[in-house]
């Protein structure tokens, strides 16, 4: 009688222990070669970036000459930052500033706040391809985070615009119809 109770208690304890270990392993599963303290999933795409930057689309780009063009950049804070939000425009040599700041900083910018930065320039025309960029950055913890955007004076000459035409031309030359949906 004594042996039966001892065996029953041992078997029940063993089953409870094995069940608990299996449940514990399921709850704490992690990707291989990582530890709980170090592994965090990387954000995918710019939509999760702490700082978002865009340059408003230009409706009328002058064809030549020195007409003034106003570039409007939008800076958006998507996550908490420490300190100031800084920005800097980068212009080609033949583009000159008429009005506005090439770089500056803003303090006390809050999550969800949009900061507009404007720059009026001359020399940005479709006579030849010119690329203007806007960078923005801030301190997040111990890291400097940022983003950038560009505006081009001849959008029809960019790879994004030419790629579709190149694909259609290749399909025609090879005698096949394009079956890929356009994005």
The Cβ of residue 106 has, within 10 Å, a number of other Cβ atoms equal to: 16
Write down the pLDDT at residue 33.
Answer: 45
Domains of the chain (ranges, CATH numbers)? 46-161 (2.60.40.10)
The region of weakest confidence among 18-22, 74-78, 113-117 is 18-22
Q: Is the pLDDT of residue 37 over 50?
A: no
Average pLDDT (37-55) is: 62
The region of weakest confidence among 22-31, 75-84, 146-155 is 22-31
Over residues 49-100, the pLDDT tens digits come to 788 899 988 888 888 888 999 999 999 888 888 889 999 999 999 999 999 9
Spell out the residues 6+ positions from residue 144 whose beta carbon is closer than 8 angstroms to its own: 137, 138
Q: Is the pLDDT of residue 176 over 80?
A: no
Identify which of 98, 156, 90 has the alpha carbon closest to the alpha carbon of residue 126.
156
Q: Is the pLDDT of residue 104 over 90?
A: yes
131 contacts 152 by C-beta, under 8 angstroms: yes
Checking phi first, is residue 2 left (phi over 0); if not, alpha (psi -120 to 50) or beta?
alpha
What 3 state SS string does the chain have?
CHHHHHHHHHHHHHHHHHHHHHHHHHHCCCCCCCCCCCCCCCCCCHHHCCEEEEECCCCCCCCCCCCEEEEEEEEEECCCCEEEEEEEEECCCCCEEEECCCEEEECCCCCCCEEEEEEEEECCCCCCCCEEEEEEEEEECCEEEEEEEEEECCHHHCHHHHHHHHHHHHHHHHCCCCCCCCC
Q: Is the pLDDT of residue 41 over 70?
A: no
Burial class (CB in 10 A: 0-12, 13-18, 19+), 140: middle
Question: What is the torsional sign of CA 70, 124, 131, 160?
Answer: positive
């Amino acid at each position: 009688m004594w042996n039966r109770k001892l065996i029953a208690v041992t078997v029940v304890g063993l089953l409870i222990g094995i069940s608990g270990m299996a449940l514990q392993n399921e709850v704490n599963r992690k990707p291989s070669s990582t530890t709980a303290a170090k592994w965090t999933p990387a954000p995918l795409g710019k939509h999760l970036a702490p700082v978002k930057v865009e340059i408003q689309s230009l409706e009328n780009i002058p064809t030549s000459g020195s007409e003034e063009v106003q570039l409007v950049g939008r800076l958006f804070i998507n996550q908490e930052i420490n300190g100031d939000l800084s920005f800097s425009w980068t212009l080609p040599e033949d583009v000159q500033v008429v009005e506005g700041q090439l770089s500056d900083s803003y303090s006390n910018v809050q999550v969800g706040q949009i900061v507009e930065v404007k720059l009026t320039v001359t020399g940005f025309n479709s006579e030849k391809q010119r690329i203007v960029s806007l960078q923005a950055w801030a301190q997040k913890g111990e890291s400097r985070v940022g983003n950038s955007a560009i505006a081009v004076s001849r959008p029809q000459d960019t790879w994004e615009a030419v790629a579709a035409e190149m694909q259609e031309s290749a399909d025609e030359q090879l005698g096949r119809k394009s079956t890929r949906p356009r994005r």
